[in-house]
Amino acid sequence: STASTTHTTTTNININNNKTTTSSSSKSKSSLSAPSTISIPRGVTVRPSGKWQAQLYFAGKSRYIGVFNSREKAASAYEIARKYLKDVGNQHPGGGSSGSGSGGKKGLSGGDIEGYVNGARKAAFHGVHDNE
């Protein structure tokens, strides 16, 4: 039988000593074992308390979404908030970007931006907690 090979590049965090590493690896299926590290989704960080925080960039700033009990819930909240703010950005061209944060603020005032971010937070919490 022929063993296939998997190539991966991931960002990992070792829960035991809070180290973050980026690595490339090449493993055959026969040598795969349970990892001692886990990959962290975009927009998600682990807090010293062991809880998971979601945040993203919108209109040039890092925006806090919330803290969750699991990595999966934080990742889900990030995606819901990202889609919500992306739709806002599409309705108001130049109004904001959930990507690199380099989008301008044309068409949106500071109050509008905070209102949309709060709406994204609420949508994220409802989306995460509705799935329970």
pLDDT at position 28: 46
Strands 5-14 and 38-39: antiparallel
User: Mean of the pLDDT values across residues 106-121?
Assistant: 85
* 3-state percent helix, strand, coil for the chain, nearest multiple of 5: 35, 30, 35
Query: How far apart (Å, rounded) are the C-alpha atoms in residues 54 and 71?
Result: 9
For the stretch 8-45, pLDDT in tens is 334 444 444 444 444 444 444 444 544 556 788 899 99
> Which pLDDT does position 79 carry in this prediction?
96
Rounded distance, CA 26 to CA 4, Å? Answer: 10
pTM passes above 0.95: no
Q: What is the pLDDT of residues 82-109, one digit of tens each?
A: 999 998 878 876 655 444 343 444 567 7
* Adjacent-strand bridge partners of 24: 9
